[in-house]
Chain A
Amino acid sequence: MQQALHIFRKDVRFLRIPIAVALALTAAFAWSYSVPRPNGVEHSTAILLILGWWYLAAAAVYKEAPTGDRQFWVTRPYRWTSLLAAKALFLLAFVHLPLFAADLTILAAQGFPPSLRTLIWRQIGLAALVTLPAAAIASVTRTLAALAMTAVAALTCVLVVFVEFEAARNAWPSSESVRGTAMLAVLFVTAGATLLWQYASRRTAGGRAAASAGFALFLTVMIAPPFTGWVEARNASEAPLLGSVRLVAREPLSEPFNHVWLGIAGVPEGMHAEAETVAIAGEDKRGREWRSQWAPRFSGRPTGEIRWNGETDGNGISLWLEPWCPLGKPPANLRAAVILLVSGPAVAERIAVNGRTHDTLIGRCSLAHERNSAAIRVTCWSSEYSRRAVELNNANISIGPNNFVDYMSASPVIESTVYVNMTPPPGDTVTLSTPRHVTRIRRDVEIPIGKERP
């Protein structure tokens, strides 16, 4: 430990300027999230801060680079465990602890109690996304230029896969948290294993191979579909809760054999059901089976083999099969499966618009007037807001998941803020309506096939 501290002190001495810059950026980041939103500056500080952390992590590793055979330290009596501990201590002291302090500052400034579990998750996310990958790449490269090129190449791969395999990734949005967690875990383990390997053996070819294999696994997880099965299994247990809810085919599939019209029946009075994701399966006339990916609601971009849209309590679900659907025209038989989100009647709460925090059904929230009297700032500290849509003043103003801006998307939500313009302007209190008890259920239906016209 004494040697680790000695190396740590040396690194602090010779990296004091980048350390000061990183700490200043962390302070700016904390300030930008602690005050009423100053026109998006928090995004700039967050990006600069992440770049600063990458630089700091790489610079610390390069002070005693594991790669190469000419470094001053490789023939000196360094213990690799001490060297690795010194670098870990450095990152802990100048990246992780400052962010932890910044989180506490932000939460205190906004009147929210700190959640140790969530804050630790944020630290793990930071390690998986920033400090460990930066240190791992630095440990298998020799210069900042090489590190930057590697990072850009990796980012390009991620973006290409992200765009090219969007359909697979979006098959079931509610399962994406599983995928995200798995991706973080792969990054964490890969970067950690690469660092351990490099510091213990300094055999860079092996380190690079391990890092490349881990990155390939990361990309595979990014596009792999199996999480839907996991979510299905998890939700199957909830299915019996709402036995009356069923899926019905409103019309048979008929020429041009690409449109299916579904309805939801049996939704109890006062409850609300909406489709989350849809899949179809069937056989062609030769008996060959085919099943589509789970598809989210069509949002204007092609996302897979099927598209659908519509409201369950309005006109039902319209489902289009893409022309290249391999079932042929018409298919021998067709089945549809729909995952439904069913919620209970909304509960209304009166919340004072005074900037203080209140316990609500979606978590602890505060509402405050903006300078524009028609606008209010809603800030909620919640771990489950994304499962609920809330309304303000019954004025058809819905605050759903898409309206919230994550404080930082690398972790479970700890704070979300949304600005809402209201007509008429809100008074001293606002009615917050929250749907009670959301259940996700799966329903299947056989779709009759219409007769082919001569």
Chain B
Amino acid sequence: MSSPIQTHQLSKAFRHTDAVRGLDLDVPAGSIFGLIGPNGAGKTTTIKMLMNILRPSGGTAEVLGVDARRLSPRELARIGYVSENQEMPDEMTVGYFLRYWEAFYPKWDRALAEEMARQFELPLDRRLRHLSRGMRMKAALASSLAYRPELVILDEPFSGLDALVRQELVQGLLDRAEETTILISSHDLAEIESFASHIGYLEAGTLRFTEESGALAARFRQVELIFDGAPSLPRDWPAEWLQPQASAAVVRFIDSGFDAERTPAEVRARFPEARRVDFTPMALKDIFIALAAAGRRAAAA
């Protein structure tokens, strides 16, 4: 089965600013792909190009096998899209909003829409403009899942939501994850970590890496070395060891290329006087912070 989303050297420039540069992205079918990156990394711009909201400056993007610039109503009827900053028809009630879309989607499932409205506790008779932000996102998600889309694209869906609403949205999404491919952009990594099968890290418009979540977690380790005296850092510091910190008797860094067989020996070889070495698995959130900080330092240098 071909990938629902593929890009090749996708680029977008706004006047003198390169928002996205040469992006090669492949979102496998059936995956939950988390596109992460700091603010301004180009996540929203990328998604807007995938949805044909923005036209690329260069490169190509294919969505469901079609050039994104030629997405027609036929393809859009197979895609669910929710964005944090999307405008809504505020004058509609939630009930009318959910009914309105029936005419646009041949596969609209009214029972599913009603079920999600119940699950999300949506007030059907209330206008969208009178809903809280969380409720609006729930209504948008329900209207984007009720036709069982083959592809769901979510742009920062959890931004500014409280923990309970986030959990409800994630649960609503996961209940239908088996049926669809999901691309979700976020800098809220706690939620991504819990369910994303793949991670792409975007920084300054460039895709730094894309990887399965398990493999990503496996290759990052917080390394802590304890010395009896003052430690000295080796001159040939490996590029994959990030954020080195040295204090009176402790050296800490993050290894971005951890290998259970190779790395301990390498650390021992560079720090032979270390009394103790600890390798601690990292949460995705800590990995992201380390990568972002390293990226900023590299940009500043």
What residues of chain A have their CB less than 8 Å away from a CB belonging to chain B?
A: 2-3, 6, 10, 14, 63, 68-72, 74-79, 203
- Taking a contact as CB atoms under 8 Å apart, the answer to whether A79 and B73 are in contact is yes
List the one stretch of B11-19, B76-84, B260-268 in contact with chain A.
Answer: B76-84
The number of inter-chain residue pairs (CB within 8 angstroms) is 47
Q: Is the CB of A77 within 8 A of B51?
A: no
Residue pair B76, A76 in contact (C-beta under 8 Å): yes
Which secondary structure characterizes the binding site on chain A?
loop
Any A CB within 8 A of the CB of B89: yes
Name 10 extra pairs, CB < 8 A, besides A3-B104, A72-B89: A2-B103, A3-B103, A6-B104, A70-B87, A71-B86, A71-B87, A75-B53, A75-B86, A76-B101, A78-B73
Write the nearest CB–CB distance from A86 to chain B, whole angstroms.
12
Question: What's the nearest-Cβ distance from chain B to residue A142, in Å?
Answer: 10
A76 x B104 contact (CB < 8 A): yes
A69 touches B54 (CB 8 A): yes
Instruction: Encode contact with A along B231-256: 1 for CB under 8 Å, 0 otherwise.
Output: 00000000000000000000000000
Q: Which residue of chain B is the closest to A13 with respect to CB atoms?
A: B96
Interface string of B79-120 (1 = CB under 8 A from A): 101010111110110000000110111000000000000000
Point out the residues of chain A lying under 8 angstroms from B285, CB to CB: none
Q: A6-B103, A69-B53, A72-B86 are in contact. Are A77 and B76 (CB under 8 A)?
A: yes
**Cα(A69)–Cα(B54), bound, Å:** 8
Determine whether B48 belongs to the interface, using a CB cutoff of 8 Å to chain A.
yes
Using a Cβ–Cβ cut-off of 8 Å, how many residues does chain B contribute to the interface with A? 24
- Please tell me if the beta carbons of A10 and B100 are within 8 angstroms of each other in the complex: yes
22 residue pairs of the A-B complex, CB under 8 angstroms, read A2-B103, A3-B103, A3-B104, A6-B100, A14-B91, A14-B92, A68-B87, A69-B48, A69-B53, A70-B86, A72-B86, A72-B88, A74-B51, A75-B51, A75-B76, A75-B81, A76-B101, A77-B73, A77-B74, A77-B104, A77-B105, A78-B73
Q: Bound complex: CA of A14 vs CA of B89, how far in Å?
A: 10
Report the bound CA distance from A36 to B44 in whole Å.
63
Nearest CB in chain A to that of B55: its residue: A203
Residues from chain B with Cβ under 8 Å of A3 in the complex: 103-104
Whole-angstrom distance between the alpha carbons of A6 and B100 in the complex?
A: 8
In the bound complex, how far is the Cα of B76 from the Cα of A2, in angstroms? 18
Mask, B172-189, CB within 8 Å of A = 1, is: 000000000000000000
A84 to chain B, nearest CB (A): 14
> Most B CB atoms within 10 A — which of A14, A63, A68?
A14
CB neighbours of B74 from chain A (8 A):
77
Cα-based distance from A3 to B100 in the complex (angstroms): 11
**Considering only CB atoms, which chain B residue lies closest to A71 in the complex?**
B87
Contact of B86 with A77 in the complex, beta carbons under 8 Å: no
Interchain CA distance A71-B48 in the complex, whole Å = 12
Query: A63 to B87, alpha carbons, bound, how many Å?
Result: 11
Contact of A70 among B83, B91, B92, B103 (CB under 8 A): B83
Q: Whole-angstrom distance between the alpha carbons of A74 and B51 in the complex? A: 9
Most chain A beta-carbon neighbours within 10 Å: one of B55, B83, B91, B104: B104
Complex alpha-carbon distance, A76 and B77, angstroms: 7
